[in-house]
Structure formats: structure tokens, C-alpha cells
Amino acid sequence: MSTNYLSILLFLPVTGAIIVALVPRLSSRIIRYIAAVFTFIPLAIAIYLFAAFDRSASMAGVMQFEESFSWIPAIGADYHIGVDGLSLPLLLLTTLLGFLVVLISWKVEKKVRQYFFWLLLLETSILGVFCSLDLLLFFAFWEIEVIPMFFLISIWGSGRKEYSAIKYVLYTLFGSAFMLAGILSLYFATGSLNMVDISQGGLAIAQSVMPAVPIFFLLLIGFAVKLPVFPLHTWLPDAHTDAPTAASVMLAGALIKMGGYGMIRVCVSIFPQTAQDYAPLLLTLAAISIVYGAAVTLRQNDIKRLIAYSSISHMGFVLLGIFALGELSLTGAGLQMFSHGIVTGLLFAVTGIIIHNTGERNIKQLGGLAHQIPLIAVIFIIGGAAAMGVPSTSGFIAEFTVFLGSFSSTAVAGVHIFTFICLLGILLAAAYILWLVQRVFFGPAISRFDAIADADNIEILYCSIFVIILFVVGIYPKILFDVLQLGVAPIAAFFGG
Amino acid sequence: MNFELLLPEIILAVSAVLIILLDLLVGRRIISLSISLAGLAIAFGFTLSMWGDVSQPVFNGLFALDNYALFFKLLFLFIAAMVMLASVDYSARFSRFQAEYHALLLLATLGMMLRAAAADLIAVFISLELVAISCYVLVAMLKNKSSTESALKFVLLGGIVSAVLLYGMSLVFGFSGETRLAEISSIIQSIPAQSLLDNPGLLLGMVLIIAAFGFKIAAVPFQMWAPDVYQGAPTPVTLFLSVGSKAAGFAVILRVFFSAFNLPEVLSSDWGTIFAVLSAFGMLLGNILAIQQGNIKRMLAYSSIAHSGYIMIGVAAIGLSSTASLEIHSNLLFYISAFALADLAAFSAVIIISNKMDSDMIEDYAGMGRRSPLLAAALTLSLLSLIGLPSTAGFIAKFYIFTGAMDSGLLWLVIIAVIASVISAFYYLRVAKVMWLNEPTSDERLTASLLPKLALFTAVLGILVLGITPSLIIKVTETAASMLGS
């Protein structure tokens, strides 16, 4: 591959950010268009890469579109990027959301220049995490992301925004502190920072030579904070609730996927044996996250906070899929990450419109909105249906695959019991979504909302893109299934299918 | 005697004298400044031309002109030039003492350069005193109450420390009968390792020397002077103390302990452990105490104490390492350079801002992002580098120094270090928050003359270069470290 598609894709958003920051006298309008262009081209490239991706079975676990050159020879760190079946869907998701959040932010008027600077920088850092194949590079991108998010939440957020922003930063840095210790131990034990080499050699060497268990958990803590896993989840409701809409979409849609991705790519790939030994512990945490998360969601009265809490429950499904350790369950975890990105992205986007138009976020004060803003109501209900896993939506196929996969997995004893407990999450999801829809959209119309606007053209545009993808994946899941299966096959092979 | 080898130092001394003399005839600031900068530039050129050439001890073992010394000399010359550039506007506050200010800075730089090359305890002591005495006067430059108070504290404590250092050195001399570091090392090695530890004189001498050096680098628990002196001193002098004096302190620590006390291993693991403990306390205490500071100079003083802790990780790793690997020295030099750049940028921005606003309180930085976006962006970037976030020099530096520590089995220290970094994010980001989020108290734009901006720009560029393509500098630090490592 002569053209460095991945590098171009990776650095276009940050190039846009630098242009936005440094070129003087740009009007807000021009800045928006620059941001749109510099996020649309990466999306186009990602779609091209997705189409050109070699799906033949011989490519299982093989990196494609790889680029590599020496970065810091003294410690053997390389600039090494590439994608496989696991990271490609997430890359696609991130570029998609990156473009859509620019549209979502079209009406932002406050400090436009800075706003798009941080938004574009954020996209590059998330993309970097998904395509890095060098641990130092991976960690660098992982850490960069904190800064844009800090500013996005604390400047353009609402409510207790400064508290939420610093809480987010400290939680993330706390997690990555352990991760850094883990990466250093790994580097010291293997003498390499190359993720592909370590995981291939790891299958043979890792178990015996190095103290696998402590390193596994050091790394896992970093990822668990991000996913988030109970009891490390408390930053999430605050950050999601107080962030501006676009940041919430990015946060819930792409950013927390870094946690799930990291668990599969680093923890499970490099330490399969340890993962298998400690799977019951992690499955327990998954079950708690799902059930507890869903139960807390039921109790929320702030519409945005409710959706934020539902993420904890939905990410529990990802954790279940990962640590059931079957090929199907891991594929399901990947699907669930993609699907949740789309579904929750949509829900946050619509919620943003509702809050913006009505000026109200307390569910108890809302009601009967279906009379006044029918379009928004329809879109929200579609999103809600996907969140509770109604067939023909991506949510259904993702959760179904996770459950089928974890139920049939042979790698972990007693996985059936966990699966049954986690099934409760589906029930609770239906309850909180339906109840939310009922309280917000149905019932008698409230007169003070009579004059509010329904979705305008640009809002309809980005909502429809979300809805189309949600149905495409729901009806024709093979489009992602093949790719994901290639990605998880080598890991699943270790556990005998 | 080959005086050519001391040409850079001689040039600095001559420039300093010239400035004082010319000041008697024409008392213009521009003359002092241009002579200083020219002197520094010429000295830099000569030092650079020696790079890679000499490695023999010269002047009967008094100095070692190896790449290690040259590396630090170049660093000190660079720092001194940056400090002078950054202080162009600020120095109007002590306009009567322009010549003295520049001459003393040159003399302090001269002392630091000699210190980096010192291979004899007497040379170490004299060069330390040259720096210290110059700095005492520099701190008092403002001649107001707080500046004078700081200087007085600095002199009194500095005097005690000199006594402690001399006592430690005399104990080592009494034990070995030598002042040259290489000779001390060979005498120590000629004694069986077991009886070495039974000898309290040597160990006490070593501990006293550590205490005295610890004072110079503001290591906890010898850090008490730093916040007061940093706050009261003129800000450019604070910068000079925080960056230059600290780097010089580490230059001599590494030189003395590696050349004289590195072998046998029982001895080096002794001082390695001491430095590891000092490092842990420095990182934790420095960062925790920084949180409650309202004055940015005081905050940066505590940050500087914490960073001494991080650098000491490298020293501890060298002491506890079983193999004298190149990397373990190189990462220390890299960290010092990265810290110097970040602190240079932070202080340059603070000098520009506080000079205009006449306040060092963090709350007065409110709305700086609107009043002067580029200045605020530069300060933010330097703070991010001090936290150690990626794409800045601080990130690579921390990772690099941690690899060395892991190599010496110091996982516990690395974990303390990363936790301390998380704590530090809190107060660094608070400054960023105040600048970008809070409403400005006035809408007046902040301006500065060209030279301070040039200093700030150079430092920021350095942070990014070291953060993104560090391999360039790592090659240099590896060459510099090769005399110690091999």
C-alpha cells in the first residue's frame, strides 16, 4: 500500500484544528465549514478503507494498511499504525461521529474558534488510540484525549461543569497512571513496545516468564475506568450530563469504546490465560454494572443523566461479551460497541435538541411533547427502540449476539448463570426507555411548550444519518460481522473457539 | 597548562568585567544586554566546537572536560541567554542595577559551567560558592522588603549548607586522603566492601554531601527555602534558580556520586536508596503542597521541588542499577532538558504577564485566554508539559526516566511518581482553567516587547520538538552520557 491512508485519516482533523487556531480573522461560518471538511474527508477515507479491507479468512488477526517507522530508537518506540477487524469498525464509527458532531455543533456561538479546535483535536486523539500498534503511541493518544475533553466540558458545558470536568480528568489520569505502570512492566518484561509482536509472542511467553497477573490488572484498571466498569464509573454520569451535546455524543459514542477496545487488544490478547482465570470476577462486575446501572437509570429525573446512566448498563454488555471469551461473544462485544456508539450518539443528539428547544431537562416538567414536536418524538422513539434492543435495529443484533455468544461460550465455567443475570438488563432497559418516552412525549400537551420549534433541516439531516445506519446494521449485520470476526478469531482460537 | 580548554569560561568572565567597567562610562542597558548576549553566544560557539573531542581530565585532575560537562555547559549558556531575553521588560524594575544584574548572571553561569566540569572536591566547592554568592545578590536585586527578606534567608541557610558541605567533604578527605574524585574512587575500591560499611566517617561524609546538594536542588526535606526565595526574588532570577541552579545541582550530584562513590555496589546501593526515598517525598510533598498555593511563583516553586523528585528517580536508578547502562544516564539528562524547557516557557509567560499586571496571584490570570490568547496558549502548553501529557517534552521525559527506574527494579517509585503526576494535574489545570474560563477583570490586551516573546517562542518550540521527535535530543544526551555509562 503506497498511499498512507491511515496517517492522512489520523492527522487531517488535527491539521484542521491547527488551521482553525492559527489563521487569523476567520468568521464563525468559515470555521464551521473548515471543521466539516476536515472531518468529512477522514470519514470518506474510513469508508474507503472499510470497503477495501481484505475480508478473506487468511487475513484473520493480520494488520492491514500498516505503516511503521522508527520514532524513538532509544526505547524501541515506533510510529506504528494499522487496523484489523477489531479496530476498523471503531475507526469508522469515530470518523462518522466526528463528522456528525460538527453538524450537531452548527449552532454553537460561544468561542467558536476554540470550540472546533478542541473538537478536532479530540477526534485525532481517539482515532490514534484505535489505530496505534505501539504501546507508547497508544498511551500518548490515550492521554492527549483528556485535554480537549476537559476544556469542552468546562467551557461549553452546563450545570456543575467545572466539577465534572476535573473529576473526569482525575479519574482518567488515575486510571492511566496504573496503565502506564502496566505498560512499563510489559516493556521491561518483553523488551518491546510492539503490540502485535507482544501479543503473538505473548501467547507463548507471557504466561511463564513475567508476573502476568499484576500487569494484567494494572492495565485493566486503566481500561475499566474508561469503559466504565462498576465501581469505577462515577465520573461518567457527571461528565456526560454536564458536557455540551457534541462532547456527550463523542464521549458516549466513541471515547468510552477505547476502554472496551483496550481490554480486547491489550489485556485479553496479551494475557489470554490470565483473562480466562479471572473471567468470573470480571463477569461478576459486568453483571453488577448491567443490573445496577439499569436500576439507577430508572430513578433518574434528568433526561440527559438518564441516558448517561444507561451507558453504564450497556457497556456492561460489552464487558460480558469480552470476558465470556467466545468467538461469538467477542464479536458481539464489538458489535455492541459500534451499535451503542450510534444509538447513544443519536439519543444524546436528540436530547440536546429537546433541551435546547424546550429549555427544560427535568423529566417531571416535560410531557406530551409528541403533540408539539412530532418529528423529534419519532426520532427519539426509534433511538429508544434500538437502545432496548427491538429487532431490526442494531441494538437487537448486538445484544442478541452477545447473549448467544456468552451462553454458548465454553471458555468460562458457569458463564450461563452470568448470562441469565445479565438478561435482566434487557428487561430493565425496556422499562426505563418506555417509561422515559411515556413521561416526555405522551400524556396531555403542556401549553408552555406550544410554540417550540421542531427539528430543523440540519438536525433532520444528522438524525437521519444515525437512523439509517442503525437500521442498516440491524437488518444486514453481516456488513460488520465478517470484519469483527476476523479481528477476534486469533483470540478466540486460544480458547478453542 | 592549556588555557584554550577554558576559553568559554574566560569569555564569560571577561564579559562580566567589561560590563561593569563600561557601566561606569556609559550606563546604558542596551550595552550590558548586548555584551552579555554576545559573550554567551561566543562561549556557546566555542563550547560546541569542543563537542566530542576532549575527554581527559585537565589541570591535574581539577576538571573533566568530557561530553557530559560540555552538554551541561551548553545547557547553562542557553538557559542564561533565555533568562536575559525574558527579563528585558522586567529588568526595568531595577534599572539602576542593569550592569550588576547582567554581570552577576554571567558570573553565576560561569560558576555553573565550572561545576559541571569539576572533578575535584575543591573545584566543586568553589564553583558552588561562585553560583551561590552571585545568586544571593541577584535575589536581593529588587531592594524591597520581600526581596531583601528572601535574600537574607537564602544567605543564612546557604551559609549553613556550605559549612555542611565542607564538613562532609573533609570527612571524605579524611577517609581517603584525596580530593580528586577519580582517586577517591580507586581508594574506596581498594578497601574490602565489608569493612567499608563499618567506617562511619565515609558514610557520614556522603550523607552530609547529599544533604548539601539536596539543598541546592530543593529536595525534600531541604526545600524550606525554595518557596520563600522564589516568591520574593525578581521573577527572572526565580527562573534562573529554578532551572539553571537546579540543573547545575544535578550535574554535580551525578558527577560526584558516579565518579567517586559508584563502586563497590554496596556503597552505590546505599546512596541510591537514599535518593529513592528523597525522590518519593519530593514528588508527593511538592505536588500536594502546590495545590493550595494562590501565588503562581510559589506554586511553580513547589512544582520545581516535585520535579527535583522526578529527576532524582534517575539518580536513584543509577545508584541501584547493577549494569552501568547508557540509557539510564541519558534519560536523566533528557529529563533535565525537558524540565528546563517547560519551566523556561512557564516562567517566561509569567514574567510577561506579571510584569504587566504587577501581580503574581493566580486569580488575576482570569480571562488571560481572551486578553492574550497566544500567551495563554503558551503557558498552558508549558503546564501540560510539566504534568507530562503527550505531544510535549514532559511526556517523553517521564516515560524515558521511568524505563530507567524499571530497569533498576524501582517499580514502587514509578507508581508513586505516576500518582504524584495525577495529583499535579489538579493544580496545573487550575491555572489553565482560570485563564480560559474565568471572566477577565479588564479587556486590555497584554503586550510585550519582542525579545521576551522570542524567549517564550523558543521554549515552546523546544517543548514540542522534544515531545514529538525526541530522538534528535536523545542522540545528544546519549553521547553526553557515554562518558559515564561506558
Average pLDDT, chain B: 88
What confidence score (pLDDT) does residue A90 get? 92
Instruction: Provide, as residue numbers in chain B, all residues whose Cβ is less than 8 Å from the Cβ of A155.
Output: 436-437
Give the tens place of pLDDT for each residue, A287-296.
999 999 999 9
Residue A341: is its pLDDT beyond 60? yes
- Whether A497 shows a pLDDT value over 60: the answer reads no
C-alpha cell at B363: 486569580
Mean pLDDT of A14-39: 89
Q: How many domains does one find in chain A?
A: 1
**8 A C-beta contact, residue A334 and residue A327:** no
pLDDT of residue B324: 63
Cβ count near B196 (within 10 Å): 17
Nearest to A71 among B415, B426, B471 (CB): B471
Q: Which pLDDT score is estimated for B345?
A: 94
CA distance B364 to chain A (A): 19
Burial class (CB in 10 A: 0-12, 13-18, 19+), B408: buried
Residue A403 domain-assigned?
Answer: yes
CB contact under 8 A, A180 and B407: no
Longest Cα–Cα distance in chain B = 71
Would you tell me which residues 70-109 of chain A have a C-beta closer than 8 angstroms to some C-beta of chain B? 70-75
Contact B433 A140 (CB under 8 A): no
Residue A67 lies in a domain: no
| Closest chain B residue to A152, measured at CA | B437
Q: Tell me what percent of chain A is helix, strand and coil, each rounded to the nearest 5.
A: 80, 5, 20
Helix axes B7-25, B98-117, angle to 10 degrees: 170
For residue A282, with 0-12 CB atoms within 10 Å meaning exposed, 13-18 middle and 19 or more buried, which class applies? buried
Beta pairing partners, A78: A70
Minimum-distance CB partner of A72 among B391, B411, B470: B470
Contact yes or no for B459/B319 (Cβ under 8 A): no
Which residues of chain A does B327 touch, with a Cβ-Cβ cutoff of 8 Å?
74-75
Interchain proximity B395–A140, CB inside 8 Å: yes
Is residue A325 domain-resident? Answer: yes
CA dist B350 and B365 (Å) reads 10
Percent of chain A with pLDDT over 90: 30
Count of CB atoms situated within 10 Å of the CB of A211: 9
Q: What is the mean pLDDT of chain A?
A: 87
How far apart are the C-alpha atoms of A116 and A19, rounded to whole Å? Answer: 10
Per-residue pLDDT tens digits for A420-451: 888 888 889 999 999 999 888 888 888 888 88
Q: How far is CA B43 from the centre of its chain?
A: 19
Shortest distance between the Cα of A423 and any Cα of chain B, in A, equals 38
Query: Could you tell me which residue, B111 or A494, shows the higher pLDDT?
Result: B111
Q: Do B411 and A144 touch (CB under 8 A)?
A: no
C-alpha dihedral (A3, A7, A10, A11), degrees to nearest 10:
-110
Question: Does residue A364 lie in a domain region?
Answer: yes
The closest of B420, B410, B425 to B331, measured between CA atoms, is B410
- DSSP reduced 3-state for B26: coil
What pLDDT, on a 0 to 100 scale, did the predictor assign at position B485?
A: 46
Q: What values do phi and psi take at B470, rounded to 5?
A: -70, -15
Q: Does A144 touch chain B (CB under 8 A)?
A: yes
The whole-number pLDDT of residue A382 equals 92
Q: Could you report the predicted ipTM of this complex, rounded to two decimals?
A: 0.85
- A7/B220 Cα distance (integer angstroms): 45
Contact B474 A73 (CB under 8 A): yes
Joined together, the cell numbers standing for residue B410 give 524501582
> What one-character DSSP code corresponds to residue A266?
I
By residue range, what is the domain housing residue A327? 274-497
Cβ B309 vs Cβ B283: under 8 Å: yes
Chain B residues lying within 8 Å of A73, measured CB to CB: 471, 474
3-state secondary structure B250-297: HHHHHHHHHHHCCCCHHHHHHHHHHHHHHHHHHHHHHHHHHHCCCEHH
DSSP reduced 3-state for B64: strand
If pLDDT is split at 50, 70 and 90, which confidence band does A187 have?
confident
**CB-based contact B415 A181, cutoff 8 Å:** yes
Q: What percent of chain B has pLDDT over 70?
A: 98
Residue B298 in grid coordinates? 510559589
Contact B391 A140 (CB under 8 A): yes
Q: Do B35 and B15 form a contact (C-beta atoms < 8 A)? A: yes
Q: Within an 8 Å CB–CB cutoff, is residue A57 touching chain B?
A: no
Looking at the domain assignment, is residue A268 inside a domain? Answer: no
Cell of B200: 562511619
Task: Please check whether residue B325 is in contact with residue B232, taking contact to mean a CB–CB distance below 8 angstroms.
Answer: no
Residue A185 pLDDT > 90: no
Cβ B193 vs Cβ B264: under 8 Å: yes
Buried b (16+ CB within 10 A) or exposed e, A213-223: eebbbbbbbbb
Query: What pLDDT was estimated at residue A2?
Result: 59
Question: How many CA atoms, within 13 angstroms, populate the side-chain half-sphere of residue B274?
Answer: 19
Which residues have C-beta within 8 Å of that of residue A346, sequence separation ≥ 6? Answer: A379, A382, A383, A386, A463, A466, A467, A470
Whether the CB-CB separation of B40 and B80 falls below 8 Å is answered with yes
Give the up-direction half-sphere exposure of residue A441: CA atoms within 13 A in the CB hemisphere: 21
Q: Are strands B57-58 and B63-64 parallel, antiparallel or unpaired?
A: antiparallel
The minimum CA-CA distance between A155 and chain B, rounded to whole Å, is 6
Residue A194, beta-bridge partner list: A134
CB atoms A155 and B436 under 8 Å: yes
Position A73 in a domain: no
Q: How far is A51 from chain B (nearest CA, A)?
A: 32
- Which region holds residue A191: left if phi is over 0, alpha if psi is between -120 and 50, else beta? left
pLDDT score, position A326: 85
Given a contact cutoff of 8 angstroms between Cβ atoms, the answer to whether A221 and A188 are in contact is no
Q: Which of B414, B433, B471 sits opposite A74 (nearest CB)?
A: B471
Tell me, what DSSP letter sits at residue A362?
A: B
- The Cα of A246 is separated from the nearest Cα of chain B by a number of Å equal to 19
What Rg do the C-alpha atoms of chain B give, in angstroms? 21
Distance in angstroms (rounded) separating the CA atoms of residues B87 and B82 = 9
Q: For residue A1, is it within any domain?
A: no
Q: Are the Cβ atoms of A181 and B396 closer than 8 angstroms?
A: no
A280 C-beta neighbours (distance < 10 Å), count: 16
Search chain B and give the residue with CA nearest A172: B422
Beta partners for residue A67, in sequence order: A81
B72 in Cβ contact with B329 (< 8 Å): no
* Nearest residue in chain A measured CA to CA from B413: A181
> What DSSP designation does B243 have?
I
- Rounded CA-CA distance A429/A313 in Å is 8
Q: Which residues of chain B have pLDDT under 50?
A: 485-486
How many angstroms separate the CA of residue A170 from the nearest CA in chain B?
7
Residue A278 maps to a domain: yes
Q: Which residue of A has its CA nearest to B473?
A: A72
**Residue B28 gets which letter from DSSP?**
-
Which among B248, B414, B394, B386 is positioned nearest to B304, based on CA atoms? B386
Return the DSSP state at A63.
Answer: -
